[in-house]
Chain A
Amino acid sequence: MTEFLSTLSGLLVGFLLLLGAGFMVLAAVGILRLPDLPTRMHASTKAGALGASLTMLAVAFHLPEGAVVARALAVIVFILLTAPVAAHVIGRAGYFVGVPLWKGTVKDELKKHYDPESHSLESGFEGRRAESGADQPGR
């Protein structure tokens, strides 16, 4: 029974390691092949974070002791908390710095709200409030 369980956990660990490494290779291929900063971040942030989380999960299954599992899960939670924040901050900085977008980009909704001279960003609600106030003076 224990032998069967250890074989099973070995299979699970190997599967998780392979899956995590596969996602990281995908992230690396994406960061190399995709055309501009936001698409590259789209590849690296999500696939990279998932790959690291899966390999950490493999560690937790390989050494099933309380302290190890707790630390591995803490690393996963930390990755899931910090990866979106870091991606948001870098993407914002990249847009503000003026990194060129891919020429096939269809939509850039920040463009009309952002002034590259003064580095000021409107929320898009300032004008709308003034318009609705002008249209309906009774409100």
Chain B
Amino acid sequence: MLDTVIIFVYILLALALILSFVRLAKGPSLPDRVVALELVASIVMGMIAVYTVDTGVDKFIDVAVVMALMAFLAAIGFARYLEKGGERDD
């Protein structure tokens, strides 16, 4: 039963990934894209968690830790870049 649920959850997460990727491609401004990118990172973390449940290999949680850290640093970096100004072409 859990296998069926896992397949369904994979499908749901893929759908969420597609929807947020549409926003990432559409824009219209750079902060919108940064927000979409952060949501993509969170969805990928969810996928890693589902994959951990699927395979039973607990080492994948470390990948989720790194993913969370990267997403946070990327958000902070983008926001700093936006706030300090600089050339933008969104």
Contact = CB atoms under 8 A, between A and B. Distances in A.
Contacts of B20: 27-28, 31-32, 44
A68 B19 contact: no
A82 B72 contact: yes
B58 A68 contact: yes
Interface residues of A, number: 51
A56 B32 contact: no
Contact of A93 (B9, B22, B46, B79): B79
Nearest to A29: B19
Interface of A: 10, 13-14, 17-18, 20-22, 24-25, 27-29, 31-32, 37, 40-41, 44-45, 48-49, 51-52, 55-56, 58-59, 62-63, 65, 67-68, 71-72, 74-75, 78-79, 82, 85-86, 89-94, 96-97, 99
